[in-house]
Amino acid sequence: MKTQTSQKVLEQVRSALDGPCGVPDGARVLVAWSGGPDSTVLAWACLELAKRERIHPVLVHVHHGLRAQSDAEVQHVRRLATQMGSTVHIAYLHMQPGSGTQARARKLRYTTFQEIAAEQGCSHIFTGHTFDDQAETALMRVLRGTGIRGVRGVLRKGDDGRARPLLDVRREQIDAVLQELGVPAVRDPSNHDMRYLRTRIRHKTLPELESFEPGITNRLVALTQEAQQLWPRLSASIEDIQTNRPLSVHDLLNLPALTHGPLLERWLNTTVARQHVEAIVDFAARNPVPGSSISTAGAHTIFRLGEFLIAGPRSGEPDIAQQFEHLVPLGVERLKNCTPPARYLRSKWTAFSEGYNRRVSERFRKIGVPPMLRRHWPVLVDPSGRKKICGEPGVPFPEGMFNMYDMFLCH
């Protein structure tokens, strides 16, 4: 029997599906059900909506194999599913304990959900994140130095099919629904383990903040909503940024500071903490010597070449020819079709890919070519095999090619 709170929560879930979650009528959806309070209320609400054929839920419980009570939790969700007139699919992961257990479990769990969703023909994966989870996520990410992308918090609808129908529901509503319906829920002991930052925020930091700044939970959630509204416009301003391409220093420095984090994350294809964002921007603004570098997030080394930043591996050099192939012909294959200047018609263009010695290195140093560019640098080879380095007196750049001194500021 539905009472006032349970009816309100059911209406909140239905509104979320109709609106921000964008779930069509009759959709087959996977419901991630741990057996805890939030996911149990979500499972109940989805089964109620199934009676009206609004959705067709597939309940899925993951047994990680990490805790002694996991077997009892499987029996609990099976018994409760039967009481609610449904069944539950159990996925066994057989994980081993170790460092980063929560992060590993979360990653493997979502991978499992995606696989089962594909097998069952589910268009969405529902998880039980609530209003309070959103506030905790926002505060946790701010404490860790996130930018605007992280402040968005948990998205109602993700690009990977995940949806969170409970994001407008408060935790006290969850507890009230369980009490009204007389439905038991599993209590995960790790949710009270103060070694985890989220647990400390949930049980200590946020309650203390609420005690002397009432309403801070609401304001944190409002902040995530503002960030979500701003994100599409910000994202559109950096949509031309590509991984494995040089990044224009001018473009980076002339965009608003709030775009720097998202831009660098898109460019490096990894999460970039605020301190790394600031270090990269400072490195770009300092106009260092061509070929200078700094180490940063995601096992990357960032190199400076003139008006460009190049992302390379932690050790070794980046593939300059591949990164610049859309701008300038670097390397033997691109240069061999270039026409030599009139005074060197018997010579051929190639790249100085071999034949290094101290004297050659000194020739490159005198004309300002950084070491990382030298094996790609254009040279003229005469019939006797002698090489004239582009940029030396009397040796122009290949016809139709950008002046690489202007491009890389090697002089």
User: pLDDT at residue 403 above 60?
Assistant: no
Give the residue ranges of DSSP H helices in 84-147: 101-120, 131-143
* Residue % of the chain over a pLDDT of 70: 91
CA distance 292 to 294: 7
Give the model's confidence band at 411: pLDDT under 50 very low, under 70 low, under 90 confident, else very high: very low
Residue with tokens 């597939």: 58
Closest CA to 75 of 35, 127, 20, 121: 35
Per CATH, domain 247-318 is 1.25.10: no
Q: What is the pLDDT of residues 242-282, one digit of tens each?
A: 888 889 999 999 999 989 999 998 999 888 888 889 999 99
Per domain, the residue ranges of the chain are 4-222, 247-318, 323-408
What average pLDDT does the segment 200-214 reach?
Answer: 95
Q: What is the pLDDT of residue 379?
A: 84
CATH class of 4-222: alpha beta
Q: What is the pLDDT of residues 32-56, one digit of tens each?
A: 999 999 999 999 999 999 999 999 9
Which one is predicted more confidently, 12 or 372?
A: 12
Give the residue ranges of DSSP H helices in 124-182: 131-143, 148-151, 171-181
Instruction: Provide the 8-state DSSP code for 226.
Output: H
CA distance 1 to 84: 12
Residue type, 346: R
